[in-house]
Structure 1
Amino acid sequence: MVILQIHIIHVSLLLVCVELSWPFAAGMMQWEPAVDSSSSGFIPRVVLELASNTKEEAAAWLLSRIRDPQRNGGAELLVEQLGPGVGAQEKDNPNLFLVGASWPRLLSGAEDVGLFKEYSDGSMRGFTCANKHNFKHFKGEGDGFLSMSECQYIIKHELDTLRAKEETHVPGYTQAKLYPGKSIIRRLQSKGILIQMFPLHDKEDLKRLSFSWYKKVKLSLQPLDEIKHYYGEGQALYFGFLEYFTFALVPMAFIGVPYYLFDWEDYDKYVVFAVFNMIWCTVILELWKRRSASLAYHWGTLSRKKAFEEPRPGFHGVLGFNPVTGREEPLYPNVKRQLRIYLVSLPFVLLCLYFSLYIMMIYFLMEGWALSVHDENPTFWTGLLLFIPSIIYAVVIEVMNLIYRYAAEFLTDWENHRLESSFQNHLVLKVLVFNFFNCFASLFYIAFIMQDMALLRHSLATLLITSQILNQIMEAFLPYWLQRRRNKKMVRKVLKRRIFEDKVLPLPEQVRLEADMSMYLGTFDDYLELFLLFGYVSLFSCVYPLAAVLVVLNNITEVYSDAFKMCHVFKRPFADPAANIGVWQLAFEAMSVIAVVTNCALIGMSPQVKGYFPDSETQLILWTVAIEHGLLAFKFILTFLIPDVPKYIQIKLARLEFESLEALKKKKMEASEVSKKIQ
């Protein structure tokens, strides 16, 4: 059985590697540079696609607002309409616009968004145009001081903060209401006038990144700096955490293999491994905080102040004034939102949990039936029958998780949260609660109600392997197959037009090809998968030590498949200047607390420990609870003893704060002396 399980994972890994050797788009064509900057000075960085039936007055108004100087309330950006290209068809959307910016505008935008760059003394400081020559690597105009992703993020920020002045509605659309201070881009998105806004890929940078990331087999770390340079800090932190989690699993996998082999039939000798589990899940999360802080400081996001959040595009309410900004915007009573949460969303989540519990009981009935059939007639086929209920249950779990995800998104959107961060936090909470219960309820029932360690090992192995195979199919093979078919169709269309002879794709076709690619929906599903895998390993791997081995193999395939999807399946996402993994850090820490309690309970149930309390089960329970509380206390003490930020970074941040205060005092003194001279 063990050999079969590992063989399945190895086959999955081999198939992914074979799939990754077929870069359907990048291998068939190359992209010419967007525009020769030396000839036109305009470098397109962001694409805006309006609906094909957008009224001309609306498009003209939007373009004028984008081009207007900042002093007139515009974004002061460069924008050109995408030409039809050679061989254009009538059904091609003509409303594609390329947005760029002059170098001085990008520098002023970098100061506006609070971009941190490396100073001449090696520290990371907020960029200012006044001190631009004191920053490392700044040489002059267009010198690469700002990466492509940073330029695109600046342009997106300027577009997002483009606000209505005295307009009452979008020209040509009386139903698209506007008011002073309303974000124009968000209104166009909510009304379906603006279909999408995405940054363009850069052929040369993408080619270099692809080669160093996944196109060569190597035993080295991921190029996190290059990933950050091309995709931004949010993506780089996800891949950094995936890499860190994989390496953190290696000691557990190294111990788990001999532990599993020597204790194949003895399901009760798991005390030592359970103790290791408790220490491991605490230490790795604390060390990750330090690793995350080091990366964030190196990338300039650790001390970066978060910008004031604008309302979500779908947020609605009665028009009023924001007490913080003083601008007009929709206002929605928090009482109504809370009523929706507690009277609708919460009962729905509880109902889903009950349904999940009902499905779990059906699974146990199927498990009992399969066991009875095997006991009556123990043959090879009835032995295989024992795995069928767990496989079916694992498939049902994945389907239920997928359906519930859509329902949770609908409910969270209906709750009408003003901020995107609030929306994400409530969505994560809903999804985590259901996924945790749906995936682990049966294992808790087997472990602590049935107290059947053999069945627990069997169920955990089947659920883990089946879920990994399904995830590889849903997240890797199916998207690759669908996207390859669509992109091959697009390539055939381009070839029929005969618009290039040397396999260099012109700009119009590059933009249209990228516009048809799938939109990248963020790292939510990726973190959720890692969260569940972390749960399988930290909660019950003491009874199935090979869990860590399987998760390591899964993570290796995840690195390559995610890298391939980012480079060739999805549109390029905008950079996300994150300083950490956000709410997912709290989710993993909560799982580690549950892991301590679970492993203590498993230790208390082991025959070795029960042997010390032959006459008093109550005393055993009291001792188990006392040890569990002591370990939790030790865990929280360890959290305080291990600083989240390394000492050398703390010193640099303190020095920077001191210098800022001294500079402020100096400015005040100079201003005071000037005022005295004037008097």
Structure 2
Amino acid sequence: MQSGWSVPDSDGTAFTPMVVLELAPDTNEEAIKWLLSRIRDREQNGGVELLLEQTLTGGHDGQKGNPNVFLVGSTLERLLHGAEDVGLFKEFNDGSMRAFTYTNKDNFKDFQGDGDSLLSVAECQYIIKHKLDTLRAKDEANVPGYPKAKLYPGKSIIRRLQSKGILLQVFPLHDKEELKRLSFSWYKKVKFSSSSSFQPLNDIRRYFGEGLALYFGFLEYFTFAMLPMALIGIPYYLWDWEDYDKYVLFAVFNLVWSTVFLEVWKRSSASLAYSWGTLSRKKAFEEPRAGFHGVLGFNPVTGRKEPVYPNSKRQLKIYLLSVPFVLLCLYLSFYIMMIYFDMEHWALALYEVEPNFWTGLFLFVPSIIYAVVIEVLNLLYRYAAEFLTDWENHRLESSYQNHLVLKVLVFNFFNCFASLFYIAFVMQDMVLLRQSLATLLITSQILNQIMEAFLPYWLQRRRNKKAHKRLVKVMGDRELPLPEQAQLESDMSTYLGTFDDYLEQFLLFGYVSLFSCVYPLAAVLVVLNNITEVYSDAFKMCHVFKRPFAEPASNIGVWQLAFETMSVIAVVTNCALIGLSPQMKAYFLESDTQLILLVVCVEHILLAFKFILAFVIPDVPKQIQIKLARLEFESLEVLKKKMRPHLRKSWRPRRAQTLTSEEEEEERHRQPRY
């Protein structure tokens, strides 16, 4: 934990500011004093014992700043106790990863001196955020100065203030020196070395947390995994330039690749998670979402008061409105797809009437228009899906995310791939399939690069040119006071998480695994896209977005299941494409039924092989399994030693506990012997 800044708390205690807490400019003074006193108060009194100080800056560049911006920090001892509370794992002196405990702190490898080097700044910020989230109301009362803002016993004060608009945002501060070092090793130089990663994943994890580091690790792994497909695809495409039917060999290779790809990633992910101490870390008890509402009741697990919402009512919302809405959107997507095919027929008829360069070029226009429409529909549907999922009122954030991901994936899959399935298996036009796949893939990548790499900077300048200039100053060489930096970072864009990033990779994986056998250059385009994605995302994380809070993660979550489902669909699709190839049809000229039965049989064999492979290849490498088993064994032995004196005492005969030594000896002689 290192930082070049130190500010005094109201009682004179110097601390390193790590988190910014911004209240609304017109917040009631009574509410501010009440909140600050609760944050500073001792734990025994219901506080969280954090240190904070007002930024005391009146604005910048002639603009009036928000006076209600506060810098939050903590003492080192409180952070170390917090590391134990949140269950951080650290490397022990014997090289194993163990849950950190304050009483055993000297036995951890990185604990040196007073322990200042044990925790990264990202971990300290995560601990502070955890403490702020656990700041709870004592009694049923109102927020001082806000009669309509009701507090209930046991409810999070921070979440309540956010839902009422009193608290605008809570975000961690960038560490300028550490950010410079990370930027240089991440995207300012091209790295070619013998190491297994060309990204500094450990540095990314220390600065942004495990969740973001795992995304970039997956992005890198996916890119490397695509290289064999790309290297084979280039000569295969050149050899198959005029003959669109020689795709059987590439389809077989595609089957094997899509099967092995995710199994190997799970092992790589487990290795990373173990080295970062999140693989065996127990998930904390989930609190209700900030937006969850309902009638006040009791949680049977925690015993605290919290909103209660009937699950039957939620299910009615899902099945009576959300599901019909999704089906309606799928029908709309299908209708637009049919319009696209009408445009294709019109363009083809125009080319047949007058074949020349311009009409030949015009053949690609319908696909380009359709690709743009797909991106627009995906964007509009995303907002609708978020609105519906909010309206369903899920209690937990994990449940909310699962329902949102399911809605978005179903629509995006249908919207992006329905036309390709129709062309492949209804029209059975491999020439049009190759053309449509290429156009959709290239157009979507261009649009994504514009939306992700160029549009944020243009919008930043349009909204506030002066803020953009100040942002450059913050990240430049000029040293600015910490209050000024906090005010400037509050104007930066908020990073919304890895949802859209994983969704983009999911769709690219679909384009490659499903239909790349008819367009082998798809893998090449995806590799080029992902290389630019790494550097553009790295730049945005360092210089465009506020620093996000670290999120502990041991895997990529529900996206692992999404990719595995896509790989199963890829097996079925590629087997069907093989069955439609002229080479296979030539062997079954007399009976299509035999061909269909053969394709179905091969498909089932490959699916069985895929599931057997998933079972045979362990998700966690053997050496890590041994380390985890040894740690569990040692934990049980320690627990037994602690419990043994209590067990002996509890099982000792009640009478013997009051007898003298002579009476005990006499009592033993009276006991029957067997």
Q: TM-score, normalised by structure 2?
A: 0.93
1:336-351 correspondence runs (5 A): 336-351=313-328
* Correspondence 1:128 to 2:105: no
Find the aligned partners of 1:90 and 1:405 in 2 and give their Cα distance: 36
Correspondence for 1:634 among 606, 609, 613: 609
- Counterpart of 1:155 in structure 2 is 128
Letter in 2 for 1:358: Y
- Counterpart of 2:669 in structure 1 is none
Find the aligned partners of 1:414 and 1:596 in 2 and give their Cα distance: 37
**RMSD between aligned alpha carbons?**
2.1
- Counterpart of 1:171 in structure 2 is 144
Find the aligned partners of 1:493 and 1:617 in 2 and give their Cα distance: 69
- Counterpart of 1:482 in structure 2 is 459
Letter in 1 for 2:244: Y
Find the aligned partners of 1:668 and 1:439 in 2 and give their Cα distance: 59
Q: Note closer, same or farther for the CA distance 1:542–1:90 as it changes in structure 2 (3 Å cut).
A: closer
8 Å CA contact 2:579–2:595 kept in 1: the answer is yes
* Correspondence 1:362 to 2:343: no
Residue correspondences, number:
646
Correspondence for 1:63 among 36, 41, 51: 36
Correspondence for 1:91 among 20, 43, 64: 64
Find the aligned partners of 1:651 and 1:106 in 2 and give their Cα distance: 31
* Correspondence 1:387 to 2:364: yes
Q: Note closer, same or farther for the CA distance 1:544–1:90 as it changes in structure 2 (3 Å cut).
A: closer
- Counterpart of 1:29 in structure 2 is none
Q: Note closer, same or farther for the CA distance 1:358–1:103 as it changes in structure 2 (3 Å cut).
A: same
Q: TM-score, normalised by structure 1?
A: 0.92
- Counterpart of 1:285 in structure 2 is 262
* Correspondence 1:334 to 2:307: no
Structure 1, unmatched stretches of 5+, are 1-31
- Counterpart of 2:508 in structure 1 is 533
8 Å CA contact 2:39–2:50 kept in 1: the answer is yes
Correspondence for 2:6 among 35, 40, 43: 35
- Counterpart of 1:593 in structure 2 is 568
- Counterpart of 1:441 in structure 2 is 418
The answer to which of 660-669 and 539-548 deviates more is 660-669
- Counterpart of 1:624 in structure 2 is 599
* Correspondence 1:273 to 2:250: yes
- Could you say what secondary structure the match of 2:64 adopts? coil
TM-superposed CA distance for 1:137, in Å, is 1.1
- Counterpart of 2:544 in structure 1 is 569
Find the aligned partners of 1:55 and 1:300 in 2 and give their Cα distance: 43
Find the aligned partners of 1:40 and 1:224 in 2 and give their Cα distance: 35
- Could you say what secondary structure the match of 1:355 adopts? helix
- Could you say what secondary structure the match of 1:252 adopts? helix
Find the aligned partners of 1:662 and 1:566 in 2 and give their Cα distance: 45
8 Å CA contact 1:85–1:509 kept in 2: the answer is no
Letter in 2 for 1:404: Y
TM-superposed CA distance for 1:92, in Å, is 1.2
- Could you say what secondary structure the match of 1:576 adopts? coil
Find the aligned partners of 2:541 and 2:99 in 1 and give their Cα distance: 29
- Counterpart of 1:196 in structure 2 is 169
Between the two structures, name the one with larger relative contact order (CA 8 Å, sep ≥ 6).
1
Correspondence for 2:26 among 48, 53, 59: 53
Find the aligned partners of 1:488 and 1:306 in 2 and give their Cα distance: 43
Find the aligned partners of 1:459 and 1:181 in 2 and give their Cα distance: 56
* Correspondence 1:584 to 2:584: no
Find the aligned partners of 1:37 and 1:646 in 2 and give their Cα distance: 48
Kindly provide the CA deviation profile for residues 579-606 of structure 1, in whole angstroms up to 9, marking residues without a partner as x. Answer: 0000000000000000000000000001
Find the aligned partners of 1:589 and 1:662 in 2 and give their Cα distance: 39
Structure 2, unmatched stretches of 5+, are 659-674
The sequence identity of aligned pairs, in percent, is: 77
Find the aligned partners of 1:486 and 1:567 in 2 and give their Cα distance: 20
Q: Note closer, same or farther for the CA distance 1:217–1:502 as it changes in structure 2 (3 Å cut).
A: closer
Find the aligned partners of 1:465 and 1:48 in 2 and give their Cα distance: 43
- Could you say what secondary structure the match of 1:662 adopts? helix
Letter in 2 for 1:637: I
- Counterpart of 1:116 in structure 2 is 89
* Correspondence 1:216 to 2:189: yes
- Could you say what secondary structure the match of 1:635 adopts? helix
Q: Note closer, same or farther for the CA distance 1:678–1:660 as it changes in structure 2 (3 Å cut).
A: farther
Kindly provide the CA deviation profile for residues 112-155 of structure 1, in whole angstroms up to 9, marking residues without a partner as x. Answer: 00000000100000000010000001013352210000000000
Q: Note closer, same or farther for the CA distance 1:587–1:493 as it changes in structure 2 (3 Å cut).
A: closer
Letter in 2 for 1:34: W
Letter in 1 for 2:279: L
8 Å CA contact 1:33–1:507 kept in 2: the answer is no
Q: Note closer, same or farther for the CA distance 1:231–1:343 as it changes in structure 2 (3 Å cut).
A: same
Find the aligned partners of 2:168 and 2:342 in 1 and give their Cα distance: 50
* Correspondence 1:397 to 2:374: yes
